[in-house]
Structure 1
Amino acid sequence: MKNRLTVCASHLITLPSAPFGPVREAIASARDAVASFDPELVVFFGTDHRRAFRAVVPTFAVVLSATAQGDVAGPVGTYDVPSSLGRALVADLVEGEFDIATAYSAALDHAFGHTTRDLLGSISAKPVLPVFVNCASPPHATFRRAASLGRRVGEFFADRRVLYVGSGGLAHDLPGFREPETGVVLSEEERQEWIRSVNARARAEGSVRELVRSWDESFLAGIGGTSWEWLDSIGVDLVERGGNGAAECLTWTAAWAAGGQPLRTLAHEFDTGGRAVVMS
């Protein structure tokens, strides 16, 4: 039996307000596949919506201890993080010339929490090693660099039975992330009020982006193979083609490269933005 499985999914799929369509059905199928695979370790490539990483925003970070913030109806509690493995991974990445940050403790938001719960049942069901990928506060890594990081992580865990997860994307635009990060820490109530005001202003100004599904299709075709040729073109004019939220697919790219296998699309939906579930 193969010793690695990769699942990538949009987050917020199972919110009560989320559509009951193919993507929601696909996350249930992915959850069944994960249960059958029964990983000894989950390496989760996730991002953050300017909640956990604000005063300092690393490009990549390995998290050694993590709790869940519970935002956007997400789970609360403590992740079972194998900190000794995390420290060893950091040392290996530094040896591989990656400038990786060590997050000794982080309160992770729904970018990690929802998908962990959707796939595992709870955030503490399995040992989870969170690998943070900055997608919300430019400048962020290139898609090729995210793939390089993922490949190195996959090599490090080659002798373990690992589930690789990427969460975020696909094409969508978040008006609040057009503004530079200030480092100011907000309460969740303050943050939600700020999001409402920014979105309302974007609608009033007519600056809500109209996205098309072609970026999604190009990205899904890329991770559907093993070639790396597409990595240089997928990030060109990213905001114009996929919206600033499409940068969240850096997490999918890292997970794809870590698993080292083509990913098949279980479901893809697109209206004003894209959402999908893929797995190896």
Structure 2
Amino acid sequence: MKKRLTVCASHLITLPGAPHGPVREAIGAAREAVDEFDPELVVFFGTDHRRAFRSVVPTFAVVLEATARGDVAGPTGSYDVPADLGRALVADLVAHEFDIATAYSAALDHAFGHTTRDLLGAVDAKPVLPIFVNCASPPHATFRRAAALGRRVGEFFADKRVLYVGSGGLAHDLPGFREPETGAVLTEEERQTWIKDVNERARREGTIRELVRTWDEAFLAGICGTSWEWLDEIGTDLVERGGNGAAECLTWTAAWAAGAQPLRTLAHEFDASGRAVVITESA
């Protein structure tokens, strides 16, 4: 029986009206693979768009209790989080010199919610252990450090049948996340108004970054192999080459290292929105 399955995907793929044919079809294929694999545990490496973590933004955090916010047409409800396993993982990571945070409760946004729904059908369909990776509020971890974390997580769960998930976009730029995190707590309506204003100002001032697909190709080539040599170069001039949204691939990197197998690209659409689905499985 297979012990590991890894799926890395962009979120918002199945958002109503989203014109992403090949990637939408690929997430369906990934869902079928997940159903067949039938994991006993889902370890989900995800990020946050400055909603759940504001006054304190950890680099990495294991979440012991989680709800889904329902933002951006996402799901709502409570995740089935195995808190005891989470606590044991935190203890193991600290023992292996990772300065991991413990989030006793978090309302996770669409970075977790959309992909969980796309792959599992509902946020409470399987036991899910969320691992937050800071991607939106620099400074964030290096790609090598994210891989090191993922590798240790994979070693910790080596005796379980685990689905590892990484959720985030490839090359894309988010003008609303260029300004430093202030820690201010906004309502969702206030937040959406502010993001809309920032994006409109960026378009008006001509500061939207024009990205090329070479960063995507280099990253996908890295996770479709087993070497770690690419991890140092991929983060060089990240914002200029991949946009500030490309840091979301730290979640993919952690999931890739946890699964410890090369991934296979099912679909990739380069439109500066970072959409792709990759999958791997091992015996």
Deviates further, 21-30 or 265-274? 265-274
Contact 2:173 2:272 in 1 (8 A): no
Contact 2:263 2:278 in 1 (8 A): yes
**What does the per-residue CA deviation read over 1:168-212, in whole Å, with 9 as the maximum and x for residues that have no partner?**
011000001110000001000000000000000100110000000
Q: Give, as a single letter, the amino acid of the residue that structure 1 aligns with 2:185.
A: V
Provide the residue aligned with 2:131 in structure 1: 131
Distance 1:63 1:145 in 2: 19
Q: Give, as a single letter, the amino acid of the residue that structure 2 aligns with 1:237.
A: D
**Percent identical:** 85
Distance 2:274 2:249 in 1: 11
Distance 2:216 2:90 in 1: 32
Distance 1:92 1:274 in 2: 33
1:157 to 2:149 alignment: no
Cα shift at 1:20: 4.0
Distance 1:20 1:245 in 2: 18
1:129-278 alignment runs, 5 A limit: 129-278=129-278
Q: What count of residue pairs does the alignment treat as equivalent?
A: 280
1:57-136 alignment runs, 5 A limit: 57-136=57-136
**What does the per-residue CA deviation read over 1:117-136, in whole Å, with 9 as the maximum and x for residues that have no partner?**
00000000000000000000
Deviates further, 34-43 or 14-23? 14-23
**What does the per-residue CA deviation read over 1:238-257, in whole Å, with 9 as the maximum and x for residues that have no partner?**
00000000000000000000
Deviates further, 145-154 or 266-275? 266-275
**What does the per-residue CA deviation read over 1:54-84, in whole Å, with 9 as the maximum and x for residues that have no partner?**
0000000000000000000000000000000
Contact 1:213 1:274 in 2 (8 A): no
Distance 2:104 2:6 in 1: 26
Cα shift at 1:273: 3.1
**What does the per-residue CA deviation read over 1:95-144, in whole Å, with 9 as the maximum and x for residues that have no partner?**
00000000000000000000000000000000000000000000000000
Contact 1:171 1:211 in 2 (8 A): yes
Contact 1:89 1:156 in 2 (8 A): yes
Q: Give, as a single letter, the amino acid of the residue that structure 1 aligns with 2:93.
A: L
CA RMSD of aligned residues (A): 0.5
Distance 1:236 1:179 in 2: 20
- Local SS of the residue matching 1:90: helix
Distance 1:67 1:275 in 2: 25
Provide TM-score, normalisation by structure 1: 0.99
Q: Return 5+ residue gaps in structure 2 as ranges.
A: none
Cα shift at 1:271: 1.9
Contact 1:211 1:273 in 2 (8 A): no
- Local SS of the residue matching 1:207: coil
Provide TM-score, normalisation by structure 2: 0.98
Which segments of structure 1 move beyond 4 Å, counting only runs of 4 or more?
A: none
- Local SS of the residue matching 1:278: strand
